[in-house]
Structure 1
C-alpha cells in the first residue's frame, strides 16, 4: 500500500483516496479540476421549468432547497395564488445571471 502526504494538511494518507479523511481536501484529479465535490450545483433551466410547470405546487422551491417556502406553496395551492407566484419566480430566475444563480442556490453538503 502506497502512501502520500496530503498537500493541504500534510497528513499521510493512502494513494487511492479521493479525499483526505483528516481535512476533506480533494486528492488526485479531483483537486486539479477546480470543482469542489462537496457542493451541490443546481440547474437554472431545470428550476425555471419546474417553476413554470409545477410552480403552484412549489416543486421548484423544493428543488432549490427552500423547503419551508415549498411547503407553503403546497398548502396554499388550492387558492391558485402559488401558480401566479410560480410564474413570477420563473421570470425572476430567467433574468438572473448564471453566476448569481449559482451563488444563491448552490449549497455545500454537510
Structure 2
C-alpha cells in the first residue's frame, strides 16, 4: 500500500485512510479546500450576462433560484417591461461585491 505523510502531524499513513490514526486530521484535498460540497455556488458574471441578454424572459432569475420572479418575468415578457428590469437587475448585480453576491445567492442544496 502506498503511504503518504499526514498533513498535520507528518506521520506516514496509508493513502486510502480518510483520517490520520494518530491526530485524527482529515486527509485529502476536500479537507484543505474549506468548501462545503452541498452549497451551490452561482457565478456573478453569468447572472449579469443572463440579465442583459435574456432579462426579458427572466432567465437570470431562474439561474439565481428565484423561480417565482422568473415566472413573472416570463408571463409579462410581451410587455417589454421585464427586459428593462433585467437590465436594471444586471447593473445592480454588477455593482454588488462578489462577497455580497455569494452571501445572497449561494444556497445549501437540500
Which residue in 1 is equivalent to 2:22? none
Unaligned runs of 5+ in 1: 1-14, 19-25
Alignment of structure 1 residues 39-58 onto 2, 5 Å: 39-58=39-58
Q: Which has the larger radius of gyration?
A: 2
Q: Give me the TM-score of the superposition, normalised by structure 2.
A: 0.75
- Compared CA separation, residues 27 and 55, structure 1 to 2 (3 A): farther
Q: Distance in 2 between matches of 1:107 and 1:16?
A: 31
Number of corresponding residues: 89
Which residue in 2 is equivalent to 1:67? 67
Q: Give me the TM-score of the superposition, normalised by structure 1.
A: 0.75
Q: Distance in 1 between matches of 2:17 and 2:75?
A: 45
- Compared CA separation, residues 16 and 83, structure 1 to 2 (3 A): farther
- Compared CA separation, residues 17 and 91, structure 1 to 2 (3 A): farther
